[in-house]
Structure 1
Amino acid sequence: MTRTILLVDDHPIVRAGCQRLLAEAALGRVVEAEDVGSALDRWRAERPDVVILDLNIPGEGGGMAVLRAIQAESPAVPVLIFSMHEDPAIAARTLKAGARGYVTKNDAPDSLASAIGTVLAGRIHLDNGLARELALMTLTPTADPLAGLTQREREILGLVGRGLTTAAIADRLGISQKTVANACTQIKDKLGADSARALIRIAIDSGLAD
Structure 2
Amino acid sequence: MSKVSVLLADDHEVVRAGYRRLFENTGDIDVVAEATDGEQAYQLYMEYKPGVVVMDLTMPGIGGLDACRRILARDRNARILVFSVHENEIFLNRALDQGVLGYISKRNASRVMIEAVRCVARGELFIGQEMMPFLVKRKASQDSQQMAGLSPREFEIFRLRADGKSVNEIADLLSLSPKTVGHHNTSVKQKLGIANEAELTRLAIRLGVIDA
Normalised by the length of structure 2, the TM-score is 0.60
In structure 2, what is the equivalent of residue 59 of structure 1?
61
Identify unmatched segments of 5+ residues in structure 1. 140-210
In structure 1, what is the equivalent of residue 45 of structure 2?
43
| Per-residue Cα deviation, 1:71-117 (whole angstroms, up to 9, x for no partner) | 11111121000101111221111011111010111015230111011
Paired with 1:89 and 1:106, the residues of 2 have a C-alpha distance of 18
| Per-residue Cα deviation, 1:42-89 (whole angstroms, up to 9, x for no partner) | 1111111110001111113x1111101111111112100010111122
The AA in structure 2 aligned to 1:90 is F
In structure 2, what is the equivalent of residue 107 of structure 1?
108
In structure 1, what is the equivalent of residue 119 of structure 2?
118
Matches within 5 A, 1:1-210: 1-30=2-31, 31-60=33-62, 62-107=63-108, 109-136=110-137
Paired with 2:55 and 2:101, the residues of 1 have a C-alpha distance of 11
Paired with 1:3 and 1:82, the residues of 2 have a C-alpha distance of 18
Normalised by the length of structure 1, the TM-score is 0.61
Paired with 1:65 and 1:108, the residues of 2 have a C-alpha distance of 21
Runs (4 or more) in structure 1 with deviation over 4 Å come to: none
In structure 2, what is the equivalent of residue 166 of structure 1?
none
Paired with 1:122 and 1:37, the residues of 2 have a C-alpha distance of 24
Q: Which has the higher helix share?
A: 2
Paired with 1:85 and 1:115, the residues of 2 have a C-alpha distance of 17
Paired with 2:80 and 2:133, the residues of 1 have a C-alpha distance of 21
1:14–1:51: structure 2 CA closer, same or farther, 3 Å change rule? Answer: same
Aligned-residue identity in percent: 32
Is the contact made by 1:51 and 1:80 (CA closer than 8 Å) also made in structure 2? yes
RMSD: 1.8
Is the contact made by 2:92 and 2:134 (CA closer than 8 Å) also made in structure 1? no
The AA in structure 1 aligned to 2:7 is L
* TM-fit CA distance, 1:22: 0.8
1:129–1:28: structure 2 CA closer, same or farther, 3 Å change rule? Answer: closer
